């Protein structure tokens, strides 16, 4: 088995890094420096034409998109390790949360970032769009909060869907999004962040 993982610190690849750490699957890690243009180099674009991380090459097949990676790695390595549901309704639930993270929450977060963060030029920002996005993020957190009521994790037991959303939600914290009104989200997040795999990655953050 050969598994190559292309990543950059403090990027979307952190999600896949946590998934691989939870799974404990041996892989060759290739660190790219986005600022130095590594993702745009022809040798990487030949692997991922989107020129983005995360990307894996599993037994010669390139796979990209963090949501696809969590589901693929979960199906391939996670079921036997008790970290991803076998095919059936519970797997459907895990997939629902993984895709929701990237598509629904991800869209609101992308709009919020683009319209409020100081690394985008002011003339490309729209304050009303930024405020609408902030409210959409709060709406997503409300949905998450009520879905977690009476549950330890998204689908009952901890799965890679929890890891995926936990890693993504670190980005929300980084953007100073306040989780405190969402008690269930807070408690769930603390449980996920107490896991050895998460703590290990945080201890070496930026490596
Ligand atoms: N939808 C993709 C997004 C990946 C993405 O945007 N990656 C960024 C880092 S956060 C990247 O590699 N950017 C490289 C560049 O801009 O050159 C996913 O979920 O995997």
Q: Which atom of ligand 1 is nearest to the CA of 53?
A: 12
For residue 198, the cross-strand partners are none
Question: How many C-beta atoms surround the C-beta of residue 30 within 10 A?
Answer: 16
pLDDT of res. 42: 98
pLDDT of res. 151: 97
Task: Specify whether the CB–CB gap between 23 and 77 falls below 8 A.
Answer: yes
Percent of the chain with pLDDT over 70: 99
Query: Ligand 1: which of 7, 12, 16, 68 to mutate, judged by most atoms within 8 Å of the beta carbon?
Result: 12
CA of 188 to the centre of ligand 1 (A): 26
Evaluated on CA atoms 125, 169, 97, 30, the torsion sign reads positive
Mean local confidence (pLDDT), 122-151: 97
Confidence bin at 207 (pLDDT 50/70/90): low
Ligand 1 lined by 136 (C-beta under 6 Å): no
Question: How many C-beta atoms surround the C-beta of residue 81 within 10 A?
Answer: 13
Ligand 1 lined by 54 (C-beta under 6 Å): yes
pLDDT of res. 180: 87
pLDDT (tens digit per residue) in 88-109: 999 999 999 999 999 999 999 9
Mean local confidence (pLDDT), 16-34: 98
pLDDT (tens digit per residue) in 47-86: 999 999 999 999 999 999 999 999 999 999 999 999 999 9
Distance CA 111, CA 134 (A): 9
């Amino acid at each position: 088995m050969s598994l190559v993982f292309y990543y950059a610190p403090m990027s979307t690849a952190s999600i896949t890094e946590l998934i691989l750490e939870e799974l404990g699957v041996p892989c060759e890690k290739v660190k790219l420096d986005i600022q130095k243009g590594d993702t745009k180099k022809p040798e990487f674009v030949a692997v991922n034409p989107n020129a983005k991380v995360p990307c894996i090459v599993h037994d010669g097949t390139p796979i990209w998109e963090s949501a696809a990676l969590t589901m693929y790695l979960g199906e391939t390595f996670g079921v036997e390790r008790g970290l991803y549901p076998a095919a059936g309704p519970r797997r459907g639930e895990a997939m629902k949360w993984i895709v929701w993270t990237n598509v629904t929450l991800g869209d609101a977060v992308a709009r919020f970032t683009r319209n409020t963060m100081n690394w985008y030029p002011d003339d490309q920002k729209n304050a009303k769009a930024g405020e609408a996005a902030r409210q959409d993020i709060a709406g997503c957190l409300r949905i998450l909060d009520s879905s977690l009521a009476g549950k330890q994790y998204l689908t009952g037991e901890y799965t890679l869907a929890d890891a995926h959303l936990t890693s993504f939600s670190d980005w929300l914290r980084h953007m100073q999004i306040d989780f405190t009104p969402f008690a269930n989200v807070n408690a769930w997040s603390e449980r996920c962040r107490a896991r050895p795999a998460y703590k290990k990655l945080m201890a070496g953050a930026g490596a």
